[in-house]
Amino acid sequence: MASPIQSFMAQGAQMFLVLLVAPAVAGITRKVKARLTRRQGPPVVQCYRDLLKLIRKDSVLAGNASWFFRTAPYLIFAFTWVAAALVPTFASGLMFNWAADVVALIALIGAARALLALAAMDVGTSFGGIGSSREMMIASLAEPASMLVMLTVALAAGTTRLPEVAQFLISQPLEIRVSFALAFVALVMVAIAENARIPVDNPATHLELTMVHEAMVLEYSGRHLAMIEAASYLKLVLYFSLVICLFVPFGMAPLHGEPIAWAIGLAAYLTKLTLAAMALGVWEVSIAKMRVFRVSEFLGSAFIFSFLAILLAFLSREVLR
């Protein structure tokens, strides 16, 4: 039985772990993209340097920016950080297990998004408005799909708590379930859209008119921008962790694990995270960005996949019974 102190320490370690690795994950993706296009690319640690630079710099605010514009970055960062810290990464015996609920997770991400969209419209530039409206369109399509994916896995595990879901999956024999495969595809598609990656959005673009996420944060600078950038790095880690936790949780330290199990869990998690970051880089150089209105088809198919997944999961449960 893990003592409260132990689980508190594990929880604390996880909170800082996600914060610490998040910029590196974005850095690895960038590096892979650069190498695949025959460029040297910035070093993997460049994202840390960028954050430090932004924190040190003065923040330039529009004359008509309200208190909301200044507060929103911190709230967005906080919400995303909490969400990222809730997803079990290397161990499941964490203090806030009771809170690591998929519904809560989606609510936290949704709240952070709503704050960003509102803040983008605060100063009244046309790009902020464009970004917000596109982001909301994407979110309205992505959220139902992500909800169904989570529920598919929750249905199989009999709980919506992520640590218990992960434990359940580890305890099961290794087999390919059609419903899980479909849910996996759907979650990856949602993750791409949610994290503003190609083909839905391009995080590296300089073309104002094509931006979604970047259009919303155009007016931010200095420490405010650092908060938003950090939040977007965290969000990427969150989704990677979610995919890892739901579909490849193997190696994760059990509920009452020993320190050695935790070490194994940590190594397994970091390896899986690195592989995911590299896969994202390969994916991004191999496809063109789609037209804005094609996003509805893209996420529509994600929704269909997730719907089929939950349908199959439900049916197979009935058959087994």
Binding site for another protein (CB under 8 A): 33, 36-39, 126-127, 129-130, 133, 198-199, 202, 204-210, 284-294
Amino acid sitting at position 253: A
Residue where the block lists tokens 């791409």: 192
- Are the CB atoms for 69 and 50 separated by under 8 Å? no
- 3-class DSSP assignment, residue 300: helix
Nearer to another protein, 110 or 129 (CB): 129
- Taking the C-alpha atoms of residue 72 and residue 50, their distance in angstroms, rounded to an integer, is 20
CB of 129 to another protein, least distance (A): 8
Kind and range of the H or E run holding 56: helix 46-56
- Taking the C-alpha atoms of residue 213 and residue 196, their distance in angstroms, rounded to an integer, is 6
- 3-class DSSP assignment, residue 207: coil
Nearer to another protein, 174 or 209 (CB): 209
Nearer to another protein, 3 or 37 (CB): 37
CB atoms within 10 A of CB 317: 13
Nearer to another protein, 254 or 281 (CB): 281
| C-alpha distances in Å from residue 75, one per residue of 16, 100, 164, 233, 302 | 18, 19, 28, 15, 29
Q: Is 117 exposed, middle or buried (0-12, 13-18, 19+ CB in 10 A)?
A: buried
CB of 40 to another protein, least distance (A): 12
Nearer to another protein, 164 or 194 (CB): 194
- Taking the C-alpha atoms of residue 227 and residue 296, their distance in angstroms, rounded to an integer, is 29
- Taking the C-alpha atoms of residue 169 and residue 258, their distance in angstroms, rounded to an integer, is 20
Nearer to another protein, 30 or 235 (CB): 30
CB of 294 to another protein, least distance (A): 7
DSSP designation for 101: B
- Taking the C-alpha atoms of residue 196 and residue 215, their distance in angstroms, rounded to an integer, is 11
CB of 320 to another protein, least distance (A): 40
CB of 23 to another protein, least distance (A): 21
CB of 218 to another protein, least distance (A): 8
Q: Is 234 exposed, middle or buried (0-12, 13-18, 19+ CB in 10 A)?
A: buried
CB of 32 to another protein, least distance (A): 12
Nearer to another protein, 111 or 218 (CB): 218
CB atoms within 10 A of CB 84: 29
CB of 287 to another protein, least distance (A): 5
Nearer to another protein, 40 or 171 (CB): 40
